[in-house]
Amino acid sequence: MEILIISGLSGGGKSKTASFLEDMGFYIVDNMPAAMILKFAEFCAGGNGRYDRVALVYDVRTGSSFAELFDVLDHLKTMDCVCRMLFLEASPETIINRYKETRRRHPLLGRTDSLEEAVRQERELMEPVRKRADFVIDTSHTSTAQLRSELLQRFDKTGEKGGMSVRVTSFGFKYGLPMEADLVFDVRFLPNPYYIDTLRGQTGLDAAVSDYVFDFQQSREFLTRLEDLLAFTLPLYAEEGKTGLVIAVGCTGGHHRSVAVTHALTAYIRELGYQVTENHRDMSRGG
């Protein structure tokens, strides 16, 4: 079992971090007092693998003493689990600007007359927690995409590739473009099996049709160049923080050429290490 304690300064990025970790498969619990963490960990340990990865958000709102938190951390590390703590912080100027933009109330503002003083007090108050953290991330100059990328590198075994799913779909232009497509490739220039009597009733998933399409030099060269393009762009999409990418390949009816190219592209993207699914929107439609 893996337990990650998410702590840090208010406005440091804990909520975004929790959302990203949830996408990675962590079970998230917000604002949990230290006294409950140990009992919750014991409950998760008996969950038959349902709660193998848990992230608990702990901050000044809990009202728990840090000594109690540190005792819990020490105890957790003696259990049969991996327990680590992540601390999120940002510069005072950044935090103040974030609170001004969101118009939220800082949790320590009731103790002082100014937001600036509340931010200063919290930084001083949370310093012992920061020192106990296994990871510290300063989000002052970190975009949402950069934060997600760093979390993927630290806490997702599959890395950025595993954080982005790719769907490759074939379609027929005669039925319209897929509305969800991010990238669209038109393969209507490739030799068309439709005009071969023995191939007309088959699809691009049939070996005879696929062999016919890729028997031509222009088809093989196009696929090679398309693979090179995706090998270059997919890591950039993942680095930018895109969680899902839809690639659409279209021919006239969505039966032959687009299906064959989609099937080949899916295999290639899988070899690159991405989570990829294959779909053929119009393959079962009538001519």
Over the stretch 22-57, which tens digit does the pLDDT of each residue have? Answer: 988 899 998 888 888 888 888 887 767 678 889 999
65 CB-side CA count, 13 A: 3
Q: Residue 161 above 80 pLDDT?
A: no
| Helix/strand/coil for 174 | helix
In angstroms, the CA 153 to CA 159 distance is 5
- Please give the pLDDT value at position 85: 92
**Quick one: average pLDDT of 210-217?**
97
- Please give the pLDDT value at position 222: 97
**Quick one: average pLDDT of 78-105?**
89
Q: Residue 171 CA to chain centroid, in angstroms? A: 27
pTM value is 0.62
Q: Judge whether 285 and 253 are in contact, CB under 8 Å.
A: yes
Q: Residue 267 above 70 pLDDT?
A: yes
- Please give the pLDDT value at position 62: 67
- Please give the pLDDT value at position 143: 86
- Please give the pLDDT value at position 188: 97
- Please give the pLDDT value at position 157: 60
- Lowest average pLDDT, out of 133-142, 159-168, 198-207, goes to 159-168
Q: Judge whether 88 and 139 are in contact, CB under 8 Å.
A: yes
Domains, the chain? 2-157 (3.40.50.300), 162-280 (no CATH)
